[in-house]
A and B are shown apart, each in its own frame.
Chain A
Amino acid sequence: QVQLQESGPGLVKPSETLSLTCLVSGDSITHSYWSWLRQSPGQGLEWIGYVSYSGRSNYNPSLKTRVFISVDTSKTKFSLNVTSVTTTDTAVYFCARSRLRVTGFDSWGQGTVVMVSS
């Protein structure tokens, strides 16, 4: 059974770069699409972007100028970078797997809280 685990700093200063990693176990990262999503306090789900093993990626149009997602196949992990963060980037960040569009995000990490504050 696949398991995903997010890790990274819980506090980031404004204007700096937020960096998170999702460790994947129980599944090959060479399969599937790997996404990051987030949820601001009291708000709904927001998709950030995805990456595949082949390097195909896409990002939320509202974030694409500040976001980069990469995959490290040798270590079965993928990573998120968000540059020039502001307080509006404060959220719970989730990593998730999707095998096909129609089957959706079928496995999620537990989420990690990131606060942007000076």
Chain B
Amino acid sequence: SYVLTQPPSLSVAPGMTATLTCGRDNIESKSVLWYQQKPGRAPVLVVFDDSVRPSGIPERISGSNSGNTATLTISRVDAGDEADYYCQVWDNRGDHPVFGSGTKVTVL
């Protein structure tokens, strides 16, 4: 079955760039989505189809997907970016979504 590997935590200083990864063999063959979840809130879709931002998501959030790693990049990080971030792909064979275990981003 699918396993998406995300580092459990990432710390970044304000104004710097956060680079979050989501790993799986040949993940580039899949369309990857990313969700941001702040404490006590529902997740929010921030990237779909590897690199497309939904309306209202700032340009400093971007996604890419190559080889065995999909990446979510958050530029000019501020306190409002502190959250858990989950990657997700669709398992076509089983017809169901698969989520990574999430990365907790802490802004120092």
Bound complex: CA A60 to CA B97 (Å): 9
Q: Which bracket fits the contact residues of B?
A: 20 to 34
CB contacts (< 8 Å) of B54 on chain A: these are: 106
Chain A interface SS verdict (over half): mixed
Let me know if B42 and A111 touch, CB within 8 A.
yes
Nearest CB in chain B to that of A64: its residue:
B96
Bound complex: CA A46 to CA B80 (Å): 25
CB contacts (< 8 Å) of B19 on chain A: these are: none
The A-B contact count (CB < 8 A) is: 55
The stretch from B20-28, B65-73, B87-95 touching chain A is B87-95
CB contacts (< 8 Å) of A61 on chain B: these are: 94, 96
Bound complex: CA A12 to CA B86 (Å): 29
CB contacts (< 8 Å) of A104 on chain B: these are: 33, 35, 45, 48, 88, 97
Q: How many residues of A contact B (CB 8 A)?
A: 19
Bound complex: CA A111 to CA B38 (Å): 13
Q: Of residues 50 to 69 in A, which have CB atoms within 8 Å of B's CB atoms?
A: 58-61
CB contacts (< 8 Å) of A59 on chain B: these are: 96
Bound complex: CA A111 to CA B44 (Å): 12
Chain B interface SS verdict (over half): strand
Selected from B49, B84, B99, B101, the residue in CB contact (under 8 A) with A47 is: B99
Let me know if B86 and A44 touch, CB within 8 A.
yes
Cβ of A103 within 8 Å of any chain B Cβ, yes or no, is yes
Nearest CB in chain B to that of A106: its residue:
B45
Bound complex: CA A58 to CA B93 (Å): 12
Q: Of residues 94 to 112 in A, which have CB atoms within 8 Å of B's CB atoms?
A: 94, 101-106, 108-111
Bound complex: CA A59 to CA B90 (Å): 13
Let me know if A102 and B43 touch, CB within 8 A.
no
Let me know if B97 and A103 touch, CB within 8 A.
no
Residues of A within 8 A of B (CB): 44-47, 58-61, 94, 101-106, 108-111
